[in-house]
Structure 1
Amino acid sequence: EQALAKGENVVVANTFVRRWEMKAYKTLAQQFNADLEIIVCNGKYQNIHGVSDAVIAKMRARWQD
């Protein structure tokens, strides 16, 4: 929020599967009149955090565009 207030660019790297999970970020972008770009990564990528295949499958099942 502080960086946005200064007019700086901000990148958030997070995993969102439901639209509501991004609400706070959308609100901040609106508050500071910042452009918001949502990048959806489709494909198979290396799992560097050790998240189990079962958890990833549950996340995929809950996915909202």
Structure 2
Amino acid sequence: MAPLAYFITNWRVLHGVTGGPAVLAIFVYWLIPESPKWLHASGRHEEAEKVTIRIAKVNGKSHRVANE
């Protein structure tokens, strides 16, 4: 933060520059799905399967179910 503070002398602007990414992270929370590992541990197996299928599609891989 020291190099930023050297070049941005107005404290209000410095506060906005350093705090801005944190505000954006709040909105990204709803876009990123929960971890399939966490969902399985929580007993939410169907949701974990859906997330895994979505991840496989995004990665261009085929998804196959282990127990079929």
Q: What TM-score, normalized to structure 1?
A: 0.23
Q: Which has the higher contact order (CA 8 A, sep 6+)?
A: 1
User: Over alpha carbons, which structure has the higher Rg?
Assistant: 2
Q: What TM-score, normalized to structure 2?
A: 0.23
Larger helix share, 1 or 2: 2
